[in-house]
Amino acid sequence: MHLILDLDSETPIYQQIRDRVVEAIADGELAPGADLPSTRQLGVDLAINFHTVSKAYDLLRREGIIRINRKSGAVVRPDVKQPSGDAGADTDWKRRARTLLAEADVRGLPKADVLEFIRTTLHGFPGGEGGDPGDR
């Protein structure tokens, strides 16, 4: 797994790690059931403190995206792409998506461009699904 972080970003490093792992899963770079590097190894690879990686992994664990076991380490949950039925997770991503869409609106981005970006991004994920049900 190769993660690219922006050390000058206002986004905390642990959040960037979390986001890149989620993107790698969505893009198919990390398959359900795939092993993640240990926190120490990823810290060395990224030249950051392993506690920062631990914070990212703990966030991913709490979100139900990875499983952490003392013996086997961190693993992408085998059922990660299955609907969880967790109303809290559903509410959380919708809240974050709403904030991103609000930022686009505040910056004056045309709604048609935002919708096209969303549609293109969803269709870019493995399986090519996304968008309106009528688009499939």
Q: Is the pLDDT of residue 98 over 90?
A: yes
Percent of the chain's residues with pLDDT above 70: 93
Out of 2.70.98.10, 1.10.10.10, 1.10.3720.10, 3.90.1660.10, select the CATH number for domain 13-76.
1.10.10.10
> Coil, helix or strand for 15?
helix
Q: Please give the average per-residue pLDDT across 78-106, as a whole number.
A: 87
Q: Please give the average per-residue pLDDT across 63-83, as a whole number.
A: 92
* Better-predicted residue by pLDDT, 134 or 65: 65
* C-alpha–C-alpha distance, residues 57 and 48, integer Å: 14
- The greatest distance separating any two alpha carbons of the chain, rounded to the nearest whole angstrom, comes to 50
Q: Is the pLDDT of residue 135 over 60?
A: no
* C-alpha–C-alpha distance, residues 119 and 115, integer Å: 6
CA dist 54 → 5, 43, 59, 73 (Å): 16, 9, 9, 11
Q: Is the pLDDT of residue 136 over 50?
A: no
Q: Could you tell me the pTM of the whole model?
A: 0.83
Residue 42 and residue 50 in contact, taking contact as beta carbons nearer than 8 Å: yes
How much is the mean pLDDT over the chain? Answer: 90
For the chain, the domains span 13-76, 87-135
Q: Is the pLDDT of residue 72 over 90?
A: no
CA atoms within 13 A on the CB side of 122: 13
Q: Is the pLDDT of residue 71 over 70?
A: yes
Q: Is the pLDDT of residue 42 over 60?
A: yes
